[in-house]
Chain A
C-alpha cells in the first residue's frame, strides 16, 4: 500500500484511478487499512479549499473536508446542527467529514440523508458544474474510479421549521441508525411546495421517498395528509436486512417514524 499526498485537489483528482481511494478524515478508509482490505493507493490532500465554509446567496458551500465538529461550530450551518450532532461520538465528529459521509454505507451516512432532503449539489474536483447529490449517490460504487468531492452546495431552508431530521437508533446517546429520515417541506401560503423526504438505511444509498413526497405536495400538513404519507413511506424503497434490523422490521416502522417526524413539524 502506498500513501500519496498532494498539495492541490486538482493534482489529487488526476492521481485517482481504479486502484486508489481518497482519504479525508479517515473514519471509513482507515477501517479498511486496519483490516488489510483497502485500495493499494491512498490519496490525500491538504488543499485549504477542502475546509472552507462560504455563505452564498441562498445557501452555503461546505468544503468536503469540513468535519462534523466544524459544522457544529459554524453559525451559517445552524440549520444542520441537529444532523451533525447525531453523527458518532465526539471523537468521530472531530474526524469524520461531510464529504466522506456521502460515501458511507449504512448504518453510517446520516448526514448525506439530510443533504439529500435539502436538495444539495456536489462539486467534484476537476469537473465543472455541480451535480445533484442524487446523481453522485446513484453512481456510488458503480464506476471503477471514485470521484473526489471538493464541496457540497446546500440550499438554506427559508424557514428553518420547514426542515426536520430524525435518527432512529436503539442505543442512546450514541448508536448507529436503524434508519434516518430527513424532510424538507417548504410552504407557500400554507401549502407544501417542493416536498423532499429522504431515508437512510432503506436502500443501498440514502433515497428519496417519492410516493410520500407526492402525497404531501400542494397539501397542508394536517393529520389526514400525514397519515397518507406515512402509509406510502416505503413505496419504491427496498430496505436491507442487517445486524441492526430486518427488512421486514424497517418496513413496519418506517411509516410510524415518518409520521412522528411530520407531526413534530406540524406542531412547529
Chain B
C-alpha cells in the first residue's frame, strides 16, 4: 500500500505523518501520531470507543479514512485537560462514571460536543448524546449524572 502524507490539526497543534492508503484514523492516531486516547473496541462503528471530534462533530475514527482528515481539526480526549483536568473529567471522577475506563475517552468526546452545543441539556438530551457509546460497566447512570453535573456547574460558575 502506498503511503500518503497527512497534515491536520490535532488538539490545536499542527501534526503531519504518513498514512497507508485505507488506514483508519484510529490506527493512524494511535500508531502514527502516538495519541493513545481513542480506543479500539469493535472496528465496526457499533461501540463508540474510538469517538473523536472532527471539525466540531463526533465521528467514529475506526470508520474514518486517515487520508480524509487532511487539513481538518481533530480533537481527542488527550486534548481535554489544559493544565488541569477538564470539568467533564473532574465530574466523571466525582460521580464514578468510569470503571474499566475503556469507553471513557469516547464518552467524553460525545459529552463535550453536547455541552458545547447545548449548555443546559435535559437527561433525555444526555441519553441521546451518548447513545452511540457503549459502556459495559456502569449501567450509564453515573455517566449521565456526571455530564448533567458538569452542565450545572458551568451554569453556576
Contacts and interface: CB of A to CB of B under 8 A. Distances in A.
Contact of A90 (B62, B68, B110): B110
B99 interface: no
B94 interface: no
Contact of B65 (A2, A30, A94): A30
Nearest to A5: B67
Given A26-B65, A89-B48, A95 B59 contact: yes
B65 A91 contact: no
Interface in A16-45: 23, 26-27, 30-31, 33-35, 38, 42, 44
B43 interface: yes
B90 interface: no
B24 A34 contact: yes
A44 B110 CA distance: 27
B62 A30 contact: yes
Query: Interface extent on B, as a size class?
Result: 20 to 34
Nearest to A42: B22
Interface string B39-69: 0000111001001000001111011110110
Contacts of A26: 63-65, 68
Interface in B107-141: 110, 113, 127-129, 131-133
A95 B60 CA distance: 8
Interface string A90-117: 1110110000000000000000000000
Contact of A34 (B43, B113, B133): B43
B24 A90 contact: no
A31 B67 contact: no
Given A27-B63, A30-B62, A91 B127 contact: no
Contacts of A33: 22, 24, 65
A34 B65 CA distance: 10
A27 B129 CA distance: 19
B43 A3 contact: no
A3 B132 contact: no
A2 B21 contact: yes
Contacts of B48: 89, 91
A174 interface: yes
B157 interface: no
Nearest to B124: A173
A69 interface: yes
Contacts of A88: 45, 132
A1 interface: yes
Interface string A156-185: 000000000000000001100000000000
A90 B58 contact: yes
A90 B21 contact: no
B62 A34 contact: yes
B132 A90 contact: yes
A3 B67 contact: yes
A38 B21 CA distance: 13
A35 B64 contact: no
Contacts of A173: 127-128, 131
A89 B65 contact: no
Contacts of B22: 1, 3, 33, 38, 42
Interface of A: 1-3, 23, 26-27, 30-31, 33-35, 38, 42, 44, 69, 88-92, 94-95, 173-174
The 3 tightest CB contacts between A and B, nearest first, are: A89-B132, A174-B131, A30-B63
Given A1-B1, A31-B44, A34-B63, 20 more contacts: A1-B21, A2-B1, A2-B21, A3-B21, A23-B65, A26-B63, A27-B60, A30-B45, A30-B65, A34-B24, A34-B62, A38-B22, A89-B131, A89-B133, A91-B45, A91-B110, A92-B60, A94-B58, A95-B59, A174-B132
